[in-house]
Amino acid sequence: MGGIKFIIDMGLSSLVYAAIFIFAAGIFYKVYFEYYKTPQPLKIPQTPQPTDSFGVFLRMAGDVLFFRSLAKGTKLLFVAGWLFHFTFLLLLIRHLRYFIYPVPGIVTMFNKVSLLIGIVMLLSMIVLVVRRFLEERVRYVTLLADYFVLFLIMAIVVTGIMLRHEPFRPDVTAVKAFIMELMSPTTPLKLLTMEPAHAPTCFMFVTHLGLVCLLLIYFPFSKLVHSVGYFFSPTRNMVNNPRSVRYINPWDKG
């Protein structure tokens, strides 16, 4: 039993660190080398675009917070998409309870409604999946990778809901101790000497965390990276002022 526990601790700790490294390195590569370093030879804002930077900021904030552009499509897609992203954000905030101490009141206030938030998120994702199957135009452009991401996130939500109920409920104190130990700067060094962090002995928790790590690893190589790439899209972040301000092609500099 001790050998199995050591393998689980070593494997899960290594997986978490590897997932975080791949996620961070992948996002950095995407943002710096593919988005930031790619020159934009033309002024291509999506019109009607504001003519000043503050107006562009407000427009982008409207897109990010309220999915303003998505609202121009079908109402079902808008509602399901907004609910999915909003509940995803709420669950991320709720999970901060495992990473910080003391836990702020704004985080603990989600404890009583976290199950409802998870169910709403799951239902919104089911709508998005069914839509891809039923709408011929959407089904035609949907790739296997799109289904993979949707079902992966759904699996994370389902296992997370199951963790709230017996016999799958882990020791919450042990979960937080494990995560806080992983956050310690000395833990990676201990991992090299075969002294991993002590993971809770709960199969469902190990499954849930493993799925989260898989999502982190896959994130930089998937369409999910649009959550970061949006802010570097020239059609969104450019000011519509080509008549009043001369735009210089970055390739012409120097």
For the chain, 254 residues long, the average pLDDT of each consecutive 10-residue run is 82 95 96 88 86 93 86 84 95 93 88 92 96 90 93 97 92 93 91 89 94 97 91 91 84 66
The tokens describing 32, both together, are 């710096």
Q: Would residue 62 count as lying in a domain?
A: yes
The tokens describing 3, both together, are 């050998």
Q: Would residue 251 count as lying in a domain?
A: no
Please report the pLDDT score of residue 254 as a whole number: 54
Looking up tokens 């839509």 gives: 131
Which one-letter DSSP state was computed for residue 246? Answer: P
Q: How many domains does the chain have?
A: 1
Q: Would residue 225 count as lying in a domain?
A: yes
Residues in the chain, total: 254
Q: Would residue 252 count as lying in a domain?
A: no
Q: Would residue 254 count as lying in a domain?
A: no
Show the domain range for 94: 2-243
Q: Would residue 166 count as lying in a domain?
A: yes
Contact by Cβ (8 Å): 71, 78:
yes
Q: Would residue 226 count as lying in a domain?
A: yes
Which one-letter DSSP state was computed for residue 238? Answer: S
pTM summary value: 0.91
The whole-angstrom separation of Cα 148 and Cα 176 is 29
The tokens describing 190, both together, are 């201990």
The tokens describing 82, both together, are 């907004």
The whole-angstrom separation of Cα 209 and Cα 212 is 5
What amino acid occupies position 168?
F
Which CATH number is 21's domain given?
A: 1.20.950.20
Q: Would residue 97 count as lying in a domain?
A: yes
